[in-house]
Every structure is written in structure tokens, then in C-alpha cells.
């Protein structure tokens, strides 16, 4: 079967390979991926900065944002049936009994990222208990469930930590970045009734800006310093250390800032003392969040259904590029105007 592969740590080693079709073990299913989404983590892996091949394999099959059909059941599987359309979660624990999204590095593997093959292939296998069934009416957009699960977890963390102190009722949010994570964060926070301001570099007539406004949010393409006021929640989705520190200055007293980006090493900061003192004197919380639990995938599907009824085809407009296995290279190239690129693998029959 055909699979999109890289040799981790070797930049530009992206290849379409002919590899053996996998077989499901006990408790696993064979999946026929319909499509996979591509994100910044795939980019990092292709650039040789991240990623790990499964033990005994020289290469890693990419693809952690998948929508797939259950093709075959391994022994002992009774929670899904052949023909179900599903989204697999990404992470599997190794020797870790914490909720899987809280397992430390070295104590988990991740499909298509770290030590476990992904779904950018004609077939893939995964553990049945980590599958989320997708309702028929969401199949067209459900490839966005995985990035949405990351957003759901980040927002869940903000509300649970913030609300553990007193009856905290956030009303406003600042979202830094208008890629898939920034836009999906804007969507969820708007569905939750917060007023939102999303900041990014694209001009006010860009698709990203229009998408923010279609949610009833404010879009700003200027420097953060030009923004007035403070926000109860700040979601950081740019991966820029400078933007992050500037965002922290816009966090309201008792506010929570969630970091969802991955940041380049280094960076110099003036005035660290004032930023830290301000955080102490105003009880500000800064929290990092990665990956997601199956409950966040389920919540994501609930919010998708709500978004479809409130914002019509808004979610499908996030998919700005589609490629197939035969022209896979096109899927793995980026411009600032792309939002979500998907690789179409097996058409749904
Ligand atoms: C994925 C997460 C994963 C993280 C780190 C992200 O792109 O969405 O599921 O935990 O990368 O590997």
C-alpha cells in the first residue's frame, strides 16, 4: 500500500513509499483513512526537527489528524463496527497511568508523530478504545476534530484552573493567531458566549479576517500594542515568544493565558521583572496545554454540530487546500494564506 513517510531527523526525507499493509492485533482495528489533515507538527517533522520512527522501522508514516472508516476488527473489539466512520485520538500511553494527555515525554507514543505510524496511508491500525464515532452529518468537516480537540482541552484547562479559585466568569478573550488553532479557538469561545478579538498578520480583507468576523468576533491585523484593554482569557497560537509576552500584558486581573504553540529556542526579553510582578499582583495564570483526551474529541464533535447550525458552512471554509496521495508534495507545502490542507486518501463509498 502507499504511505507518506519521513525519516525522522533527516530534513527533506518526505517520500511516498510502498509498504506492507498492517494487520490489527487484539483490541485493534484496521482503518481505511478517508483523509488526513496537515499541521505545523508535520512541518516540524519534515524539517527534521521533531518526530520518531516506531521501534524497528527506519521511517515514520505521517498523519495524526485522521478521519477513517473501520475496515476490519481485530479480536476482542466490540465498541465499533465495520463501516463506522471514526476519528482516532493521537496518543497512546506506554508505562503511564495518568490520563494519556498528561503522560510525560518518554512515556507515550503518538500516531504519525512519535514512535507510532500515522494514517497518511491507504490503511492504518489503531486501538479500538481510542476511536470516536463520527455522526453522518459531520463527516465533511470531521477531519478537523483532532485540532479542535487540542483547542477544547486548552479551553477546558483555562476554565477549570480559573474556576477552581472562585466563581470566575470570563467574558472576553484575546486569541493570538488565525491559523486552524486560532480560528477554532475563536469558534469555541464564541459558541461559549465570550466576546473575542483575534490578532494575526493577514490583512482585514483576507479569508482569515472574514472568517473571524463571520463568527461575530473582532479581527485585528495590527501590533498587539495597539490593542486597548485587557482580556479574561488569552489563547496563544502563534508560536512566537514575543507575541506571547505581549499577550500576557493584555491578560486581565485573575485571567488565564493558555499556550498552545511550540516556540523556537532562544529569544531575549526586556522588562521580564515587570511582566512577572504584574502577573503576581494580578493573580494571572499562564498554562501550557498539549494533546487531548477522548472527552475533548467528543466535545469537539458537539461544538462542530453547534457551529454548523449557527455558522452554516464556516467549518468547511477552513479547508483551503486538498491534495491526493499522488500529488502529496503539494499538501506538504505552506503559504501564510493556507488554513487547513487535507490529503484525500480513500473516497468514502
Ligand atoms: C498534536 C498533538 C500532539 C502534539 C505534540 C500536535 O500537533 O495535535 O496531539 O500531542 O502535536 O506531539
Q: Tell me: pLDDT of 219 over 90.
A: yes
Taking the C-alpha atoms of residue 66 and residue 3, their distance in angstroms, rounded to an integer, is: 14
| Torsion angles phi and psi, residue 267, rounded to 5 | 105, 140
Among 110, 143, 146, 294, say which to mutate for ligand 1: greatest number of ligand atoms within 8 Å of CB: 110
Q: Tell me: pLDDT of 294 over 90.
A: yes
What is the CA 18 to chain-centroid distance, rounded? 28
Among 8, 60, 113, say which to mutate for ligand 1: greatest number of ligand atoms within 8 Å of CB: 113
Q: Please name the residue whose Cα sits nearest to atom 9 of ligand 1.
A: 291
> Among 73-87, 300-314, 332-346, which is the least confidently predicted range?
332-346
The three-state secondary structure class of 200 is coil
Residues 24-54: tens digit of each pLDDT? 999 999 999 999 999 999 999 999 999 999 9
Taking the C-alpha atoms of residue 85 and residue 149, their distance in angstroms, rounded to an integer, is: 17
End-to-end CA distance of the chain: 19
Among 145, 291, 292, say which to mutate for ligand 1: greatest number of ligand atoms within 8 Å of CB: 291
Smallest CA-to-CA distance from 181 within 310, 37, 344 is with 37
Taking the C-alpha atoms of residue 179 and residue 40, their distance in angstroms, rounded to an integer, is: 10
Q: Tell me: pLDDT of 334 over 90.
A: no
Which DSSP symbol is given to 286? Answer: E
Residues 225-273: tens digit of each pLDDT? 889 999 999 999 999 999 999 999 999 999 999 999 999 988 888 888 9
pLDDT at res. 236 = 98
Binding pocket residue ranges, ligand 1, CB within 6 Å? 39, 41, 64, 90-91, 110, 113-114, 146, 150, 290-291
Relative to the CA of 40, which ligand 1 atom is closest?
A: 7
pLDDT at res. 271 = 86
In the numeric block, which cell numbers belong to residue 216?
461575530
Q: Which domains does the chain have, with CATH numbers?
A: 2-133+316-344 (3.90.180.10), 148-288 (3.40.50.720)
Ligand 1 center from residue 226 Cα (angstroms): 32
Report CA dihedral (63, 69, 72, 74) to the nearest 10 degrees. 60
Percent of the chain beyond pLDDT 90? 94
Ligand 1 center from residue 12 Cα (angstroms): 21
The three-state secondary structure class of 335 is coil
Ligand 1 center from residue 273 Cα (angstroms): 32
pLDDT at res. 337 = 84
Relative to the CA of 113, which ligand 1 atom is closest?
A: 12
Q: What is the mean pLDDT of residues 131-139?
A: 98
Q: Are strands 28-38 and 340-344 parallel, antiparallel or unpaired?
A: antiparallel
Amino acid at each position: 500500500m502507499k504511505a507518506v513517510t519521513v525519516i525522522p531527523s533527516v530534513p527533506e526525507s518526505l517520500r511516498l513509499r510502498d509498504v506492507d499493509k498492517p494487520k490489527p492485533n487484539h483490541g485493534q482495528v484496521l482503518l481505511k483513512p478517508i483523509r488526513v489533515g496537515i499541521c505545523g507538527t508535520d512541518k516540524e517533522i519534515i524539517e527534521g526537527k521533531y518526530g520518531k520512527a516506531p521501534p524497528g522501522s527506519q521511517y515514520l508514516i505521517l498523519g495524526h489528524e485522521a478521519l477513517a472508516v473501520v475496515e476490519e476488527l481485530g479480536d476482542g473489539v466490540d465498541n465499533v463496527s465495520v463501516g463506522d466512520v471514526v476519528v482516532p485520538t493521537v496518543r497512546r500511553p506506554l508505562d503511564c497511568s495518568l490520563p494519556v494527555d498528561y503522560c510525560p515525554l518518554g512515556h507515550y507514543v503518538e500516531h504519525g508523530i512519535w514512535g507510532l505510524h500515522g494514517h497518511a496511508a491507504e490503511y492504518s491500525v489503531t486501538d479500538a478504545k481510542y476511536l470516536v464515532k463520527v455522526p453522518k452529518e459531520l463527516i465533511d468537516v470531521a477531519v478537523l476534530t483532532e485540532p479542535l480537540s487540542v483547542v477544547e482541552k486548552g479551553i477546558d484547562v483555562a476554565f477549570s484552573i480559573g474556576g477552581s479559585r472562585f466563581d470566575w466568569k470570563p467574558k472576553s478573550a484575546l486569541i493570538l493567531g488565525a491559523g486552524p488553532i486560532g480560528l477554532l479557538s475563536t469558534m469555541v469561545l464564541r459558541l461559549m458566549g465570550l466576546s473575542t478579538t483575534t490578532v494575526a498578520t493577514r490583512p482585514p480583507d483576507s479569508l482569515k479576517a472574514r472568517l473571524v468576523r463571520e463568527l461575530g468576533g473582532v479581527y485585528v491585523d495590527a501590533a498587539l500594542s495597539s490593542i486597548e484593554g485587557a482580556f479574561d482569557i488569552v489563547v496563544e497560537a502563534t508560536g512566537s515568544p514575543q507575541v506571547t509576552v505581549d499577550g500576557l500584558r493584555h491578560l486581565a486581573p485573575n485571567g488565564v493565558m493558555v499556550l498552545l504553540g511550540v516556540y523556537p529556542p532562544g529569544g531575549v526579553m526586556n522588562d521580564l521583572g515587570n511582566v512577572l510582578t504584574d502577573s503576581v499582583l494580578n493573580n494571572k495564570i499562564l498554562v501550557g496545554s498539549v494533546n487531548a483526551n477522548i472527552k475533548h474529541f467528543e466535545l469537539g464533535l458537539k461544538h462542530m454540530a453547534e457551529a454548523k447550525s449557527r455558522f452554516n458552512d464556516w467549518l468547511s471554509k477552513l479547508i483551503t487546500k486538498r491534495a491526493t496521495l499522488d500529488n502529496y508534495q503539494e499538501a506538504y507545502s505552506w503559504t501564510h494564506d493556507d488554513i487547513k490542507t487535507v490529503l484525500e486518501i480513500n473516497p468514502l463509498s
